Amino acid sequence: MKLDLYTEISDFFRQNQGKIVELEILPKWHLPPLCIDGQSLGITKNGLIQAFTVARQLFFDNASKMISYNELTDKNVAAALDATLVVLFFAPEHTTAINFRKRRLLFYEQEALREPGTDSEEVGRYMAAIHNELALLQSFTSSYLVKHPKSPTLWDHRRWIFSRQSYLHQIEPSRSWEVEKGVVLRAAEQHQHNYYAFNYLRTIFGIFSRELSVYIPNDMDSLRRWCLANPRDASGWSFFVFLFENCETVDLQLESTPNHIMEVAEFADSLQWSSPNLWSFLRRACTILALECPESSPIKTRLRNLIEANEQGMQPFKLKVHEFLLGIGN
């Protein structure tokens, strides 16, 4: 039974290599314990534990016998790699399995550096291995799993991949940024307050910042919409502030920045939203930007109108609005 579960899971990953799959833990009473439908896999917690015990044993057995990290010539490497998939499915913080996969990528990287050129077979194999690894990590962090979307080990492994200069030279920055931003926002929806995911996105922004200047306005707008759809997520608001802080890094002055802040303030006022995360964002954003607008500017006029709208019957929320807007007006 244990071996059968392991074999089916490893076969599922192998058949969907390089694809984004959906993974889910089924209720313990579900029968059968494993369900596979296309690119979706569901398994009970007990079934996954049984598969993990087999995978862990196979991983260490084969890792101890291998000669190199080339699974094309060493069957022990291929068996150990298959085992790491199930190991990480159960235990995303299993650093030994992650490090094994890193060493295998380093092996392909070294082979690619010996034969430079985008058309070489070694470079193609290296890029395919990277693509498959990123797809696997995205499957883990975007699926309906408890630990994986917020796993520091998985996000650090993804960060490590983007730290490889040999890989960065082969990719297009704007497309990679859009993909990585989508991966992070998806993971943040799966697990709120996902500090590790947004911290990873800060790193990616730092890597591509110079090439992203023309995309920042759209990013500000899309992230604002995401934050308003998830107003309790402190990590999302914190990253929104991070973009404000780093506009100067990309030599970009955003004329729409005060409008973004105003729209968030009006949203909070219209819904009487008292979430401290949202108001903390507004205070930090306005402190950073200082809202260098003249006293007669439409922005400050609208802010004062919000104060007047909240003057009657000052409730705790309205006091918070009043305090905030007065602080901006001074």
pLDDT at 306: 52
pLDDT tens track for 42-55? 999 999 999 999 99
Indicate whether 198 pLDDT > 70.
Answer: yes
DSSP string, 188-255: HHHSSS-HHHHHHHHHHHHHHGGG-GGGHHHHHHHHHHHHHHSTT-HHHHHHHHHHHHTTGGGT---T
How far apart, in Å, do the first and last CA atoms of the chain sit?
70
Burial class for 27, CB neighbours closer than 10 Å (0-12, 13-18, 19+): exposed
Asked whether the CA dihedral 181, 185, 190, 193 is positive or negative, the reply is positive
Residue with tokens 């291998």: 66
Q: What is the mean pLDDT of residues 128-144?
A: 94
pLDDT at 251: 43
pLDDT at 91: 96
Indicate whether 150 pLDDT > 60.
Answer: yes
pLDDT at 246: 75
DSSP string, 25-73: EEPTT-SSSEEEETTEEEEEHHHHHHHHHHHHHHHHHHHTT-SSS-TTT
What contacts 33, CB < 8 A, 6 or more positions away? 5, 26, 43, 44, 46, 47
Q: What is the mean pLDDT of residues 223-227?
A: 87
For residue 212, give the nearest of 250, 159, 170 by alpha carbon.
250
Indicate whether 41 pLDDT > 90.
Answer: yes
Apex 181 CA angle, 95 and 267, nearest 5: 125
pLDDT at 250: 43
pLDDT at 273: 66
pLDDT at 314: 36
pLDDT tens track for 78-107? 899 999 999 999 999 999 999 999 998 998
% residues pLDDT > 90 (the chain):
39
- Torsions phi, psi for 104 (to 5 deg): -70, -40
Q: What is the mean pLDDT of residues 292-320?
A: 49
Average model confidence (pLDDT) across the chain? 80
Indicate whether 305 pLDDT > 60.
Answer: no
Counting every residue written for the chain, the total comes to 330
**Residue 38 and residue 147: Cα distance in Å, rounded?**
24
- Which pTM does this prediction carry? 0.84
* CB-based contact 52:1 (threshold 8 Å): no
For residue 34, give the nearest of 9, 67, 10, 66 by alpha carbon.
9
pLDDT band at 63 (very low <50, low <70, confident <90, very high): confident
Q: What is the mean pLDDT of residues 152-170?
A: 86
pLDDT tens track for 248-300? 544 444 555 666 777 777 777 777 666 677 767 776 766 665 544 445 555 55
pLDDT at 257: 61
